Amino acid sequence: MFCYLSSATPCAVKVNGEFVGKATVNLSFLDLEQAFLEFVPLDQALAPVCYFFDKKQPVSTKNMQIIDLYGGFLLAPKFIRQSQGELKIFAKKTFSFTRPLYVTCFNQGDGKIFLSHERDVFIENTPFSLTDVRFESCSVLGKEYLLIICVSGKTVIYGYEIGEKITPVFKNVCDGYGFDGNLLHLLENKNDLLRHVVSTTWEFGGSVKVKSCTVTAKRVAYSLPDALIPYAFFEEVLVSGDVEKFLTPRLKPRASEFKEFLGDFTAILPPPHFKNDDLVTLVYVDKVAYAKVFVVGGQVDNVILE
């Protein structure tokens, strides 16, 4: 059975105890019938993942996602951080909300954030050790919010509404941020073909909602060869960018329909070797779809989903 491996965390791969290579976010290929698989992350702070593959009935587990490719399977390991060493408190802070809020940040392998007041307790687990934590707060329309900004390579921002309960209301990853009054400004650099930059402003008020979103690109679509146009087109849909610039005059009036037509895909990959080379693989939470894109004069003239 054809198996493709994809791992956001680089890892060594063993089949029945024998090292066979390295898996990354780029697809790698194995031909398996029945085998004991081991995925050993190069980051030693992460725990290895073991999985017994049987082509007759491969199923997803907590640590392994299996997606049917209709002719093979996509295997994506999910690593968790191992508990390492003693518990070390990183930061403590008290906030003067209606109910005084106590926040403790500590590390034990990964990071944890402990929030408590007289009525409730909430614990947030972070996928990395805490090295730089910052806080912002606001009170708007009778609601109180706390933002915890964890800087570690990428910046991860957690937001909580502080009421009778401590309620998580926001989580996002970004490359830069700013906070002004009750407005959170985020900047994210995408590692895609056109090098998109996504700027969003979130408003913390009666609810938490997007106030504005701007998508720009550092490269232009016409600089790409025709073979890459389908991939760049789907990336544009994924970031909610200017889809119209990819379309022929015939399709431009329907630009707004593509997001609903394609659905909530999360990644774009080349087709497996048992599918035609002119297809693009769209990965969803629990499935894939294959898309055929017709390019005319460097622009998309039709899209068909299989």
- Arithmetic mean of pLDDT, 202-222: 94
Contacts of 57 (CB under 8 A, 6+ apart): none
- Determine the pLDDT at residue 248: 96
CA atoms within 13 A on the CB side of 3: 22
Mean pLDDT, the chain, whole residue set: 93
Tell me the C-alpha distance between 274 and 193, whole Å.
Answer: 25
Q: With a cut of 90, say whether residue 5 has pLDDT above it.
A: yes
pLDDT tens-digit series, residues 53-93: 998 889 999 999 999 999 999 999 999 877 666 778 888 99
Most confident of 82-86, 150-154, 181-185: 181-185
pLDDT of residue 43: 84
Q: What mean pLDDT is predicted for residues 196-203?
A: 97
Residue-level pLDDT at 28? 83
Let me know: does 258 contact 230? Beta carbons within 8 Å: no
Q: pLDDT of 19-43, one tens digit each?
A: 999 998 887 888 989 999 999 999 8
More confident residue, 168 or 126: 168
Instruction: Name residue 291's beta-bridge partners.
Output: 280, 305
Q: What is the pLDDT of residue 11?
A: 95
Average pLDDT rounded to a whole number, residues 186-212: 96
Q: Which of 22-36, 76-90, 235-249, 278-292 has the lowest mean pLDDT?
A: 76-90
What local confidence, expressed as pLDDT, does residue 84 receive? 64
pLDDT at 85: 64
pLDDT given at position 8 = 87
Report the pLDDT value the prediction gives residue 306, as an integer from 0 to 100.
85
What is the rounded average pLDDT of the residues 134-151? Answer: 95
SS (H, E, C) the chain: CEEEECCCCCEEEEECCEEEEEECCCCEEEECCEEEEEEEECCCCECCEEEEEECCCCCCECCEEEEECCCEEEEEECCCECCCCCCEEEEEEEECCCCCEEEEEEEECEEEEEEEECCEEEEEEECCCCCCEEEEEEEECCEEEEEEEEEECEEEEEEEEECCCEEEEEEEEECEEEEECCEEEEEEECCCCCCEEEEEEEEECCCEEEEEEEEEECCCHHHCCHHHHHHHHHHHHHCCCCHHHHECCCCHHHHHHHHHHHCCCCEEECCCCCCCCCEEEEECCCCEEEEEEEEECCEEEEEEEC
Q: State percent of the chain over pLDDT 90.
A: 80
Q: What is the pLDDT of residue 245?
A: 94
Length of the chain: 306
The arithmetic mean of pLDDT across residues 253-262, rounded, is 94
Residue with tokens 């009170």: 139
